[in-house]
Amino acid sequence: MPAIKQRIEPEICTYLDPETKILTIEVLFPNVNKEKIQIKIKNDALLIKAESEDAEYVKYVYLVMRLKKRNE
């Protein structure tokens, strides 16, 4: 029988640079491999998910502005 993972809301910190309008989001995912992190952006919402061996992290971030991906 597969183990049931605990669903946890991760710690998050956001910073908006008023001059450049760049939003920086820092999320804490303990014991999670980088490959297990998913980020989805849709208009004014951000969905962040990650998975470790014993936990699933899920966070919805609703913003008062529309988002667009920055080209890197």
* CA 19 to centroid of chain Cα atoms: 24
For 2-40, what is each residue's pLDDT tens digit? 678 899 999 999 888 999 878 888 999 999 999 999 999
Is 53 contained in some domain? yes
The verdict on residue 52 lying in a domain is yes
CA distance 63 to 1: 40
Sign for the CA dihedral angle at 13, 54, 8, 51 comes to: positive
Note whether residue 71 is domain-resident. Answer: no
Number of separate domains in the chain: 1
Indicate which CATH number applies to the domain containing 40. 2.60.40.790
Q: Look at residue 69 and tell me if it is in a domain.
A: no
Tens-place pLDDT, residues 36-50: 999 998 878 889 999
- pLDDT band at residue 72 using 50, 70 and 90 as cut-offs: low
By C-alpha distance, which of 37, 40, 10, 15 is closest to 25? 15
Total Cβ atoms within 10 A of residue 29: 20
